[in-house]
Structure 1
Amino acid sequence: MEKRANNLTKGIKNIILSTLIIPLFLFSTQGIAQETNFEEGKQYILGGLTVTGLQSYNEQTVKSYTGLRVGQPIKVPGDEISAVIKKLWNLDLFSNVEMFYTNIEDDKIFLELSITERPTLNNVTVYGVKKRKVEDIIDDTDLKKGKKITESLIANTKNYLQNKYKKQGFLNAKVNIATTADTTGTNVQNMVINVNKGDKVKIKDINFVGNEKLSDKRLKKSLKNTKKKKFYRFWKKSKYIEADFEEDLDNLIDTYAERGYRDARVLSDTFVKLDEKNIELTIKVEEGDKYYFGDIDFVGNSVYTDRMLSQVLGIKKGDTYNGVLLKERIADDSDPDAADLTNLYQNNGYLFSSINPVEVSAVNDTIDFEIRIIEGKETFLDHVTVSGNDKTNDHVIYREIRTRPGQKYSKSNIVRTIRELGQLGFFDAEQIVPDIQNPDPNAGTVDVNYSLVESGSSQIELQGGFGGGGFIGTLGLSFSNFSLKNIFNKEAYRPVPMGDGQTFALRLQASRTFRVYSLNFSEPWLGGKKPVRFNMSLSRTQQFATGFDQNGRLDVQKDRGFSITGITAGLAKRVQWPDDYFTISHSLGYQYYKFDDYDLGLFNFGNGSSNSLTYTFGISRSSQGPSRIFPMTGSNFELTAKFTPPYSLFGNKDFKSLRDRRKELTDISLERALTTQEANEIREIEKERFRWLEFYKVKFKGDWYTNIVDKLVLRTNAEFGFLGSYNNDIGDVPFERFYVGGDGLGNFSLDGRDVVQLRGYENSSLAFSVYNPIRQRAQQEGGVIYNKYSMELRYPLTLKPSASIYVQTFLEAGNAFNNFQDLNPFELKRSAGAGLRIFMPAFGLLGIDFGYGFDADNVRPNAGPSGWQTHFIIGQQF
């Protein structure tokens, strides 16, 4: 049968014009035009539709998508055919779409839809970038397997990559993209992307034209992110990045505005390409005249007087005009706690207030302002809700929230709430979002919802290693969002009862020579109505005597040893004065020391016992935040005083005679070995001195956190400690001392010592050697006084809930002293170094520090500088 056809459209570009009348071309299968009975613009009945050119699509699917049905009236050419072609083009699945008629029988017309499918993407290969960056490029450009390859896809991918690298300072970046057929599939192609970033283009020089009032140096300093190339500059790079440069031009205008030149503007900015690696920037400015503040009038205020608003504004008539300062005093967007006019109103219930400074007069060099205030209606909180807490019970959150239904709206209370919720440690502090909902200016009400993201609040410690003559194993479990009331509820174990904000910690450590057990429980809201924290801890430590058998192997004698059993209970209450960041704490503790045929050397007696009953009073203030893991602002201070009763003041024992006799025996031991009777006499004297320990201990620690720029934080620290005695005849107790130096980890401490971190020195190396008359040798003993200072620069690599990682550099100095006579606060052991911290909710804090000690330690004072030391941090406080 002779085939007659008409081409209804040609080419991809022209299909957009498919709504126009498309000419029909008649041809035969031999290519010779013949007359037909086709009449242009006549209405026919669709007799049939075939689809040709298909490779991967089903013919019936394409027919269905056209919407054409056999038997329907259709005008050729007409709107129906134009709409079908346009519809198929918009799918972006075909590179060519054409419609032909193949036959006409009476009033029936038979059509053929000819399409060319676009190739499908299979593999993508990227050259010129690091392998670890390839996946990011594929994700960013959406080059997924199975995606249709179009001209726009290739062009958009090329433009995206070139712009991406230009933004990073590679102004000469070039990207070439090619596709090749893949014979493993039908109509499948592979894509090859060649990236040539070229060299980073640096700024060799920055020139200013038109500046007379401000120097080139001052203007260059205002360009925060655009810097001239210098060999010593490593913190701020000298790459040319267009977005940063545009931001810096705004900073340049702000620099003028801060100095009174409100009309200053940038007339032009150009750069000249010197070579492939260097450019030169030229910035032409017009400075204008210098202005001063004139009269500043407040309009519309009724809540606050002009005088009060003027005090907050802090700008007086005659001051040099400073547009940046004026904006900050109206509303400082960079600081949510800023003392500005907007916060003055919003912290006192006026959410719907608006404050706008308006220039009303500019005569000569003086500008008069009106601060126009619309106070709005006083606003109250209607509903306060939380969301996202899947594990933590609502009451644990609501008791920390500073906003209550019915209260006046206060922005400062919302900011404080964010800090308090972040300090709990149950939520990701970076994702706590206060959502202001349903604001109603007419009714003066608003709702607040705190959106939370739960983070891990349980930790497990499982360690193993060799030391002290054998294997040491440690198992620790810490649940910081525990629920004691559900401990007998089987359904609440996921894996343990959680959600009530309590802390439960269990730690076991053991080897052949010692065992340590500890149990701790705390309830932050005792009774559930007030922020009174209750804490109780139990501990048991055992140290066994050791020796060596005839074969040189370690012999552990478990019937001989030394143990400490202790219990402590305490209460800590958050108070309102001087402000509600303060906490006052009280605790009582008792420790029982037992010696069984074991001369530890601490007390100089091998059998017997000693007791310690202590009361500890503490005052602390904690305003650090928003996260307890990586604080960026605020401070933390803690002052504690620990006391025992002064037993010797109430007894009639002659401790002076005991002291004199002990000194006499010690002097004898320097000349000869003590007899058994003399050694036993010293032991009995020691038993009497330390049957009940009496001492007082004062400690202070302060941390300040300063956000310098972005998330770069400076932590400044100062510490001090003193251990004293009531009775000089008894002297200082050998327990409770300060051991300075090293990583600061005191995982195994028998004697209640304070282990103080000072990196760059070996652990406890800033202690002292004291002569033991019984053993007739020196033994290490901690100091009774210490001071320490440190500065850390911290920067986070990531603060995600799964893992928070930050790097730091530090400077530290500190020392320990035997008595007040030896105390010299300027005789410090100095160090410097860098480190890394990783916090994972399941394992706690992990880290490593490399510190260099510039001075000799106290154990080896003549050995020269301590030098480089490596410290591993596990579970230390933040």
Structure 2
Amino acid sequence: MEKLANNSIKGIRNSIHSYLKLLLPLLFFSGQALAQETSFEDGKQYILGDLTVTGLQSYNEQTVKTYTGLRVGQPITVPGDEISAVIKKLWGLDLFSNVEMYYTKIEGEKIFLELYIQERPTLNNVTVYGVKKRKVEDIINDTDLKKGKKITESLIANTKNYLQNKYKKQGYLNAKVNIATAADTSGVNVQNMVINLNKGDKVKIRKIVFEGNDQLSDKRLRKSLKKTKKKKFYRFWKKSKYIEEDYREDLSNLMDTYAERGYRDARILMDTFTKVDENNIDLKIKLEEGNKYYFGDIDFVGNTVYTDRQLAQILGIKKGDTYNGVLLKERIADDSKPDAIDLTNQYQNNGYLFSSINPVEVSAVNDTIDFEIRIIEGKETFLDHVTVVGNDKTNDHVIFRELRTRPGQKYSKDNIVRSIRELGQLGFFDAEQIKPDIINPDPNAGTVDVQYSLVEAGSSQIELQGGFGGGGFIGTLGLSFSNFSLKNIFNGEAYKPVPMGDGQTFALRLQASRTFRVYSLNFSEPWLGGKKPVRFNLSLSRTQQFATGYDSRGRIDVDKSRGFAITGVSAGLAKRVQWPDDFFTISHAVSYQRYDFNDYNSGLFNFGNGSSNSINYTIGISRSSQGPNRIFPMSGSNFELTAKFTPPYSLFGTKDFEQIKEDIDATTVRLSEIGNPNNATPEEQLEYTQLRGDLERLEEERFKLLEFYKIKFKGDWYTRLVDKLVLRTNAEFGFLGAYNHDIGDVPFERFYVGGDGLGNFTLDGRDIVQLRGYENQSLTPYINNAITGNLEQEGGTIYNKFSLELRYPFTLKPSASIYGLTFLEAGNSFNNFNDYNPFELKRSAGVGLRIFMPAFGLLGIDFGYGFDSDARPGSVGPSGWQTHFIIGQQF
């Protein structure tokens, strides 16, 4: 047999010579047979007599023959382009380690060929040593080392280079990777691969040395290297490891530092590192600072929409200012902030999408640089089509009514940014994946289309909430559908599992402990009538509170035959307004509560039988601009101021509340004088019973129609510090007042401070205020019950609270959003305004974790340390560490 080289005539000839040497013995013994054969001629055209394939282990011979494209009986030139093309085609598959073509014999015009193939081994198992087991799968996926893959030299080399570079980028400059393969007898031509990783220790930066810096200090330059730091024993929040990518980014920051201070010609002449030992390097950066420059004349060219003065005010740079290249770039177009105040946004927010703005240096004399801001305004741009995609559940009209972009409107980048926020605040879509696409731009016609790509997120929620307070475990079970569709309530086909898509809210809630039960139903329509953002809300509630005491062992004993119940109904309207801006909402609500008592006495009121009624009106003003993610806001603020009023009945009625108060005070004093009736004389016991009945009658008369006013303020501010590190600042204040001091403060609507903030039920209208690091409601004042003689919580009539919270997200995926936090809090509640001291605060600090899953709401845990004692009788010393579980808590 003779080998046909790819395209080398010389190779063919050498093969022929070798073949002829093999034929010489046969020629001697069988000259007649050979005489009948035609000798091989270089470059002659033959007829392919047959093609055989040898060396195959796993592939079918007929499949390979078909793939070559060679057919028996076809003319073929040997050597020639056909054979070269076949060999090249087979090599291109990267499935074989050797491909060779031979001719076996020639009969007249026919030539018989043999294709020899050596298959590459197939990968079976991959074993990785030197990393944690949970990271092995990631390595195999990243390097694409899948079972069945052909093992090639390039595969091994690429895998080795990838892993070495991967760990070098993480600071392991001494990382070593060894890869070996071995035959696996379980299959034909199968091999296993073993990867040995030795990351070594992370290489640290011992010193950073600067040369050539006369104008800026080493300290200032080191500070500009945000991610490249030298070793210091006290630095634990930023490691000193050397990472090439971060280092190159920091070199750019270094040049920005010079550019911000007027040194526009500054440059890095050389940067290198010296290996001190296996774990330490020294960085050396040689600089040329150049001269300091100043801004000269700044002229605007090409502007017709805005005057030079208007543009100069936005640019904010004056002649004589120190040259600042970074600031100039940001004032032209700040890419880091979509809503930045810059020249580009000024044009794009007013319809000029196709505008371009370029600063050009026109002269540099001595240390002064003159600029021209060259503006091509382009044609005024209008929106042609506005579309949404990806909303599989939510109806189009729910989305379009929130958009600030309408067909026919001028293009405005600010309106697009605002639309993204509004869609994110709905809670129906993954806020991180809301993407506006600018499509079909037509500079000549001045039109553009906007398409919002959305990804639906779970909007229904099962609320499972738990905590301890009020003498036992408080549990909550609720179903909340925040994208409900009331109009399809009788449409059986719309139940998936409930009618969805119209943006309404429908919620059922049950909350209970040993001492109380709460049932509530809530319905909300955010666009009443469908044309304006007017929210309608209707809620119904029923609360039962049972009497409690203590058994002989000191445990809480619940008597369900005694207690009181509250039945309430509330309806409200909230309208988004345009002034001072369209983040503001004004709300109105009217509600009615009826309190029914059955042999129940509390420190808040002294009648155990009877009823009270409350008809109140609430007005609120709020501004909500936080976003864009509803679960994890990174910017903006949210504040709410509400005032709740009842009619001042005492101003119009005929009751003498001054006399009632005097009678109550006198009765209370006499009851206190008698003390425990069990130790009194028979006459005093009879008097005690009569006085107690009188007191209950007087108290019921006083609170038959409740009258009060209640003011509350809550503000949250979100500030993005670095990357996704967010500072949440919170301030709260509440005050419960009375019109008539003879009536005094009502026994309901009080503030209970301390703990995890759970148990925020509708029981007597109270507000449960979270203050971590203390037990639930333990910062609430106590009073002495005139009837029972026991100290009991009465709830505060005034409170204030302040919080600082640092948050950082680990993931914001729609399936689960997870973030960690640290907090500082301080707050307190007081019996009355005379006792109020805004600086007498109970302080705490701690850490926490939050996990938001669409189906279950917010889950979390906080560990808080209270630095002060709480308000419970006998409490001394700091509250200490407290653990708070957050289940279904608002975020």
TM-score by length of 2: 0.95
Letter in 2 for 1:719: E
CA contact (8 A) 2:202 2:241 kept: yes
Equivalent in 687, 691, 695 of residue 704 of structure 2: 691
Distance change >3 Å, CA 795–CA 665, structure 1 → 2: same
**Secondary structure of the corresponding residue to residue 566 of structure 1:** strand
Distance change >3 Å, CA 748–CA 304, structure 1 → 2: closer
Where do residues 394-413 of structure 1 align in structure 2 (5 Å cutoff)?
Answer: 394-413=396-415
Within 2, Cα distance between the matches of 1:363 and 1:249?
Answer: 28
Within 2, Cα distance between the matches of 1:724 and 1:860?
Answer: 26
Equivalent in 128, 132, 135 of residue 133 of structure 1: 135
2:4 aligned residue: 8
CA contact (8 A) 1:562 1:600 kept: no
2:771 aligned residue: 758
CA contact (8 A) 1:259 1:322 kept: yes
Letter in 1 for 2:15: F
1:858 and 2:871 matched? yes
1:493 aligned residue: 495
Within 2, Cα distance between the matches of 1:65 and 1:576?
Answer: 72
Distance change >3 Å, CA 417–CA 239, structure 1 → 2: same
Distance change >3 Å, CA 842–CA 715, structure 1 → 2: same
Equivalent in 704, 707, 717 of residue 704 of structure 1: 717
CA contact (8 A) 1:299 1:372 kept: yes
1:769 aligned residue: 782
CA contact (8 A) 2:860 2:886 kept: yes
Within 2, Cα distance between the matches of 1:560 and 1:499?
Answer: 45
Q: CA deviation at 1:510?
A: 4.5
**Secondary structure of the corresponding residue to residue 498 of structure 1:** coil
Higher mean alpha-carbon deviation, 308-317 vs 560-569, is at 560-569
Give per-residue Cα distances to partners, 1:490-517, cap 9 Å, x unaligned: 1111111000000000012346654321
CA contact (8 A) 2:523 2:538 kept: yes
Give per-residue Cα distances to partners, 1:342-392, cap 9 Å, x unaligned: 011000011010000000000000000011000101111100111110000
Distance change >3 Å, CA 861–CA 239, structure 1 → 2: farther
Higher mean alpha-carbon deviation, 544-553 vs 609-618, is at 544-553
Give per-residue Cα distances to partners, 1:55-96, cap 9 Å, x unaligned: 111111111111110111111111111110110000000011
Letter in 2 for 1:323: G
Give per-residue Cα distances to partners, 1:774-808, cap 9 Å, x unaligned: 11111012111111111111000000000000001
Give per-residue Cα distances to partners, 1:632-656, cap 9 Å, x unaligned: 0000010000011111111121222
2:269 aligned residue: 267
1:55 and 2:81 matched? no
Within 2, Cα distance between the matches of 1:827 and 1:851?
Answer: 19
**Secondary structure of the corresponding residue to residue 793 of structure 1:** strand
Letter in 2 for 1:636: N
Letter in 2 for 1:739: Y
Higher mean alpha-carbon deviation, 696-705 vs 749-758, is at 749-758
**Secondary structure of the corresponding residue to residue 706 of structure 1:** strand
1:811 aligned residue: 824
1:480 aligned residue: 482
Where do residues 438-453 of structure 1 align in structure 2 (5 Å cutoff)?
Answer: 438-453=440-455
**Secondary structure of the corresponding residue to residue 519 of structure 2:** strand
TM-score by length of 1: 0.96
Q: CA deviation at 1:598?
A: 3.0
CA contact (8 A) 2:469 2:776 kept: no
1:715 and 2:728 matched? yes
Within 1, Cα distance between the matches of 2:421 and 2:469?
Answer: 42
Letter in 2 for 1:25: S
Letter in 2 for 1:217: K
Distance change >3 Å, CA 88–CA 241, structure 1 → 2: same
1:201 and 2:203 matched? yes
Within 2, Cα distance between the matches of 1:357 and 1:791?
Answer: 42
Give per-residue Cα distances to partners, 1:679-718, cap 9 Å, x unaligned: 1111111101111111100000111111111111111111
Within 2, Cα distance between the matches of 1:444 and 1:406?
Answer: 11
Within 2, Cα distance between the matches of 1:505 and 1:719?
Answer: 27
In the alignment, structure 1 segments of 5+ residues that lack a partner are 10-14
Q: CA deviation at 1:481?
A: 0.4
CA contact (8 A) 2:464 2:887 kept: no
Q: CA deviation at 1:560?
A: 3.6
Higher mean alpha-carbon deviation, 598-607 vs 737-746, is at 598-607
Equivalent in 561, 570, 573 of residue 571 of structure 1: 573
Distance change >3 Å, CA 8–CA 63, structure 1 → 2: same
Letter in 2 for 1:673: N
Within 1, Cα distance between the matches of 2:537 and 2:640?
Answer: 17
CA contact (8 A) 2:179 2:195 kept: yes
CA contact (8 A) 2:439 2:448 kept: yes
Q: CA deviation at 1:185?
A: 1.0
Equivalent in 314, 329, 332 of residue 331 of structure 2: 329
CA contact (8 A) 1:18 1:85 kept: no
Within 2, Cα distance between the matches of 1:198 and 1:873?
Answer: 42
1:542 aligned residue: 544
Letter in 2 for 1:792: E
CA contact (8 A) 2:357 2:376 kept: yes
Q: CA deviation at 1:472?
A: 7.0
Where do residues 556-595 of structure 1 align in structure 2 (5 Å cutoff)?
Answer: 558-595=560-597
Distance change >3 Å, CA 140–CA 23, structure 1 → 2: farther
Distance change >3 Å, CA 499–CA 722, structure 1 → 2: same
Within 2, Cα distance between the matches of 1:558 and 1:779?
Answer: 19
Give per-residue Cα distances to partners, 1:580-638, cap 9 Å, x unaligned: 00000000011111112333454222211111111000000001000110000000010
Q: CA deviation at 1:827?
A: 1.0
Distance change >3 Å, CA 64–CA 803, structure 1 → 2: same
1:673 and 2:676 matched? yes
1:597 aligned residue: 599
Give per-residue Cα distances to partners, 1:260-310, cap 9 Å, x unaligned: 000000000010010111100000000000000011111111111111111
2:33 aligned residue: none
CA contact (8 A) 1:536 1:569 kept: yes
Equivalent in 874, 881, 885 of residue 872 of structure 1: 885
Higher mean alpha-carbon deviation, 504-513 vs 408-417, is at 504-513
Letter in 2 for 1:751: D
1:798 and 2:811 matched? yes
Q: CA deviation at 1:657?
A: 2.0
Q: CA deviation at 1:30?
A: 10
CA contact (8 A) 1:597 1:606 kept: yes
1:12 aligned residue: none
2:684 aligned residue: none
Letter in 2 for 1:460: I
Within 2, Cα distance between the matches of 1:788 and 1:552?
Answer: 34
Letter in 1 for 2:636: G
Within 2, Cα distance between the matches of 1:623 and 1:327?
Answer: 28
Within 2, Cα distance between the matches of 1:696 and 1:659?
Answer: 20
Equivalent in 109, 112, 124 of residue 110 of structure 1: 112
CA contact (8 A) 1:19 1:79 kept: no
CA contact (8 A) 2:466 2:473 kept: yes
Equivalent in 458, 461, 464 of residue 459 of structure 1: 461
Higher mean alpha-carbon deviation, 460-469 vs 190-199, is at 460-469
Within 2, Cα distance between the matches of 1:21 and 1:729?
Answer: 119
Give per-residue Cα distances to partners, 1:456-506, cap 9 Å, x unaligned: 101013468999899976431000000000111111111110000000000
1:743 aligned residue: 756
Letter in 1 for 2:59: Y
CA contact (8 A) 1:171 1:201 kept: yes
1:427 aligned residue: 429
CA contact (8 A) 2:772 2:866 kept: yes
Q: CA deviation at 1:666?
A: 2.5
Within 2, Cα distance between the matches of 1:348 and 1:642?
Answer: 42
CA contact (8 A) 2:858 2:889 kept: yes
Equivalent in 503, 521, 525 of residue 505 of structure 2: 503
CA contact (8 A) 2:603 2:783 kept: no
2:32 aligned residue: none
Q: CA deviation at 1:733?
A: 1.1
2:182 aligned residue: 180
CA contact (8 A) 1:850 1:871 kept: yes
Within 1, Cα distance between the matches of 2:738 and 2:289?
Answer: 71
